[in-house]
Amino acid sequence: ASIGLQTKVNHPDKTVLYVNSDLFFQQYIESVKNGNIQDFIFFYQSVDVLIIDDIQFIAGGKGKTQEAFFHIFNHLHQKGKQIVITADKSPVEITGFEPRLLSRFKWGLTAECIL
């Protein structure tokens, strides 16, 4: 959340979205039930900075959730938008993600937070 708040201070014109992976998953499930998956994906693709906390919780999930995130990630990356993902492990230690998604996680900067 701190990253999002500081981004808004530095760039007030940017759209910043912070969401934990559980909410992301729940919103995805609702979009499937309501038949508006494209609206769900478009919403996430419309932000300038996407921050997803605890991404490891969608690792073992259904492939469709990971596929939706894959398309969101690709779109944001291609548009030069910022994506911040937090996890309790480094990308190489997370299991349960599709290889194509896991490889994208390794593209960015990895930092360890020691509390």
pLDDT in tens, 6-34: 989 999 999 999 999 999 999 999 999 99
Q: What is the pLDDT of residues 58-81, one digit of tens each?
A: 876 667 888 899 999 999 999 999
Q: Return the closest-CA partner of residue 77 out of 54, 45, 51, 109.
A: 45
**82-85 and 16-20 beta bridge pairing:** unpaired
Predicted TM-score (pTM) of this structure: 0.84
* Angle between helix 63-78 and 37-45 (nearest 10): 40
Given a cut of 80, whether residue 43 has pLDDT beyond it is: yes
